[in-house]
């Protein structure tokens, strides 16, 4: 247990102050630690909430069951923590209520977090598309948040597991492995279920249900997609191949329409939206999976399916049973290029495509999806067939069988329904004193620093509104 301010006498309400000995009427034990605020989860959102509330003079205890502090921050961004995105707007978040995040993001934006980072002397750089990373290590962000908490006299209970939560006498009573804790306000900052091997749990969702709050069905997001092993076998050989693609989800597409083995464009799909410049979606809907969304990002072939930023991005919008569509040559008019290359050329179609793609991909993809053109010489192929090939290249439809699951996901989509929470404070409408912040809330950001920005912004909104 880390050093912190000594717990004070209970002041949770009249019942507590009347308490004389043994057990109080409401069942609380004497001598348990008492705080204004208990924050469960000392990750990104939990430490930020505790620091902000502590600085306002509130007596805060921060509880986490992990042995090591903030493991997700530590491993994030390849160890350099993509701690925000300077271009953050509400449009990069997915939620049943796309407007919910507006207030918190307006109150605490990327520049605010950057100011904090700079005050702590942490050097940073922009990688691409507004993504800000530490120059050295994500440990610097953890050290910064820990220092902020210590400066705000936050008390630590870690490692400490919470066995039960009850509300009685205007107070939350926590039964923990470090003894009883009571607090007037309870903040759930235990994140989502991604990477259970690092201690991720559904604790926040269980507490939400216990208090009668609705949950938006949680699912792995920012996660690789996998395919039927038999159908994927020919592409498994491409494991490690990467290239920039356009990728989109195809809402409403059914299993009957296409499988990984067919690999071709489906007529009458009405899809084929291209990603806009800079990887921004050409079209998007705030509610995941209800409209077509497209990204321009890198794709990576794996043994079991597809990964890389393009797939992680689209996975958040993909629903089981639907197809995804990949443009393997975004921004290139393949039909025109192949037709123009025909005259006087003795090269094979595969060689022409290898000018655009890694050679392995050109040969293997043509063998699987090229309708007999794998060995063909370009000059011998009718323009009509080249156009059909180009159509398949720009609209390669695939039917994932699932995702790689929470063990490989970066985040959880879904969570505590935002209809249950006040957007300015993150407090539950139905349960006074109960708050949810960070990934536990049904607000999921794209890949690129947005999820941390939501963690900081929702935490600051909560920390500033907790009553003194
Ligand atoms: P977070 O997961 O940070 O913290 C939750 C805390 O609660 C943990 O300390 C956990 O131990 C604790 N806890 C859980 N259950 C508990 C229980 N029952 N009792 C007590 N404590 C409990 N985002 C981004 O913006 N940029 C990036 O670069 C990355 N990179 C990245 C890489 C990888 C591999 C992953 C898995 C995720 C990312 N993310 C990311 C996502 C980002 O890490 C995530 O969205 C935030 O950490 C969420 O912050 P929270 O504070 O809500 O949860």
Give a yes or no: residue 186 inside a domain.
yes
| 51 Cα: distance to centroid of ligand 1 (angstroms) | 17
C-alpha 282/C-alpha 391 separation (Å) is 19
Give a yes or no: residue 361 inside a domain.
yes
Which residue puts its alpha carbon closest to atom 36 of ligand 1? Answer: 410
216 and 360 Cβ atoms separated by less than 8 Å? no
pLDDT at 291: 81
Residues 290 and 341 in one domain: yes
pLDDT at 344: 73
Best mutation site among 42, 61, 67, 76 for ligand 1 pocket (most ligand atoms within 8 Å of CB): 76
C-alpha 397/C-alpha 395 separation (Å) is 6
Which residue puts its alpha carbon closest to atom 30 of ligand 1? Answer: 76
Which residue puts its alpha carbon closest to atom 19 of ligand 1? Answer: 65
Tens digit of pLDDT for each residue in 3-19?
333 344 345 654 333 33
pLDDT at 372: 79
Number of structural domains (the chain) is: 2
Residues 305 and 381 in one domain: yes
pLDDT at 387: 94
436 and 188 Cβ atoms separated by less than 8 Å? yes
219 and 412 Cβ atoms separated by less than 8 Å? yes
CATH code for the domain in which residue 36 is found: 3.50.50.60
Give a yes or no: residue 304 inside a domain.
yes
C-alpha 458/C-alpha 189 separation (Å) is 10
> Residue 439 CA: which ligand 1 atom is closest?
52
| 42 Cα: distance to centroid of ligand 1 (angstroms) | 9
Give a yes or no: residue 8 inside a domain.
no
Give a yes or no: residue 181 inside a domain.
yes
| 73 Cα: distance to centroid of ligand 1 (angstroms) | 7
pLDDT at 1: 44
| 440 Cα: distance to centroid of ligand 1 (angstroms) | 9
Residues 370 and 427 in one domain: no
Give a yes or no: residue 343 inside a domain.
yes
402 has which bridge partners?
226
| 173 Cα: distance to centroid of ligand 1 (angstroms) | 25
Tens digit of pLDDT for each residue in 123-172?
999 998 899 999 999 999 999 999 999 999 999 999 999 999 999 988 99
Residues 183 and 48 in one domain: yes
pLDDT at 272: 32
H helices of 181-324, in order, are 203-210, 229-236, 309-315
Structural domain span for residue 447: 13-218+412-465
Which residue puts its alpha carbon closest to atom 4 of ligand 1? Answer: 43
pLDDT at 176: 97
| 95 Cα: distance to centroid of ligand 1 (angstroms) | 18
Task: Find how far residue 143's CA is from the centre of its chain.
Answer: 23
Which residue puts its alpha carbon closest to atom 16 of ligand 1? Answer: 190
| 459 Cα: distance to centroid of ligand 1 (angstroms) | 13
Tokens of 35: 């705080």
Low-confidence spans in the chain with pLDDT less than 50: 1-10, 14-30, 255-280, 282-286
Best mutation site among 174, 191, 205 for ligand 1 pocket (most ligand atoms within 8 Å of CB): 191
C-alpha 382/C-alpha 215 separation (Å) is 55
Residues 204 and 339 in one domain: no
450 and 90 Cβ atoms separated by less than 8 Å? no
pLDDT at 31: 52
Residues 301 and 372 in one domain: yes
What residues flank ligand 1, with Cβ below 6 Å?
Answer: 40-46, 63-66, 70, 72, 75-77, 81-82, 161-162, 189-191, 194-195, 199-201, 203, 410-411, 438-440, 449-452, 455
**Which helix (H) or strand (E) segment is 53 a member of?**
helix 44-55
Which residue puts its alpha carbon closest to atom 12 of ligand 1? Answer: 41
Residues 345 and 417 in one domain: no
Residues 229 and 327 in one domain: yes
CATH code for the domain in which residue 384 is found: 2.40.30.10
| 144 Cα: distance to centroid of ligand 1 (angstroms) | 16
Residues 45 and 173 in one domain: yes
Residues 252 and 343 in one domain: yes
Residue 98: other Cβ atoms inside 10 A: 18
Give a yes or no: residue 7 inside a domain.
no
Tokens of 200: 């991720």
C-alpha 247/C-alpha 395 separation (Å) is 9
Q: In which region does residue 33 sit, left (phi positive, over 0), alpha (psi from -120 to 50) or beta (all else)?
A: beta
| 152 Cα: distance to centroid of ligand 1 (angstroms) | 22
Q: How far apart are the first and last CA of the chain?
A: 26
| 406 Cα: distance to centroid of ligand 1 (angstroms) | 12
Residues 211 and 236 in one domain: no
pLDDT at 169: 86
Report CA Rg, the chain: 26
H helices of 212-299, in order, are 229-236
pLDDT at 4: 37
């Amino acid at each position: 247990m880390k050093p912190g301010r000594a717990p004070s006498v209970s002041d949770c309400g009249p019942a507590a102050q009347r308490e004389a000995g043994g057990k109080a009427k409401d069942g609380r034990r004497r001598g348990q630690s008492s705080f204004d605020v208990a924050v469960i989860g000392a990750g990104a959102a939990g430490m930020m909430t505790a620091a902000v509330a502590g600085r306002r003079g509130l007596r805060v205890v921060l509880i986490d069951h992990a042995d090591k502090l903030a493991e997700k921050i530590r491993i994030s961004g390849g160890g350099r923590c993509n701690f925000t995105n300077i271009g953050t707007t509400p449009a990069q978040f997915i939620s049943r209520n796309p407007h919910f995040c507006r207030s918190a993001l307006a109150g605490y934006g990327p520049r605010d977090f950057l100011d904090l980072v700079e005050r702590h002397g942490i050097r940073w750089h922009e990688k691409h598309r507004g993504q800000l990373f530490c120059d050295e290590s994500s440990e610097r962000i953890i050290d910064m948040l820990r220092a902020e908490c210590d400066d705000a006299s936050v008390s630590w209970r870690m490692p400490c597991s919470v066995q039960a939560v009850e509300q009685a006498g205007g107070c939350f009573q926590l039964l923990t492995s470090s003894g009883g804790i009571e607090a007037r306000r309870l903040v759930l900052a235990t994140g989502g279920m991604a990477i259970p091997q690092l201690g991720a749990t559904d604790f926040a969702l269980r507490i939400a249900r216990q208090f009668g709050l609705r949950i938006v069905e949680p699912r792995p997001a920012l996660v690789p997609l996998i395919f039927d092993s038999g159908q994927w076998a020919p592409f498994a050989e491409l494991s490690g191949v990467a290239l920039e693609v356009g990728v989109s989800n195809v809402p409403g597409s059914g299993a009957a329409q296409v499988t990984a083995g067919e690999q071709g464009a489906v007529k009458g799909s009405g899809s084929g939206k291209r990603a806009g410049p800079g990887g921004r979606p050409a079209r998007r809907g705030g509610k995941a999976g209800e409209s077509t969304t497209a990204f321009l990002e890198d794709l990576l072939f794996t043994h079991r399916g597809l990964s890389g930023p393009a797939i992680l991005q689209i996975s958040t919008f993909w629903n089981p049973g639907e197809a995804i569509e990949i443009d393997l040559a975004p921004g290139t008019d393949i039909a025109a290029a192949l037709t123009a290359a025909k005259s006087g050329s003795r090269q094979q179609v595969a060689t022409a495509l290898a000018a655009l793609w890694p050679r392995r991909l050109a040969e293997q993809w043509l063998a699987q999806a090229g309708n007999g053109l794998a060995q063909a010489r370009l000059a011998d192929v009718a323009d009509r067939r080249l156009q059909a090939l180009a159509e398949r290249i720009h609209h390669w439809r695939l039917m994932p069988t699932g995702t790689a699951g929470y063990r490989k996901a970066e985040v959880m989509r879904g969570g505590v329904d935002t209809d249950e929470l006040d957007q300015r404070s993150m407090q539950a409408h139905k349960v006074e004193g109960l708050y949810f912040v960070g990934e536990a809330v049904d607000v999921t950001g794209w890949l690129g620093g947005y999820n941390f920005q939501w963690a900081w912004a929702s935490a600051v909104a909560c920390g500033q509104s907790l009553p003194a």
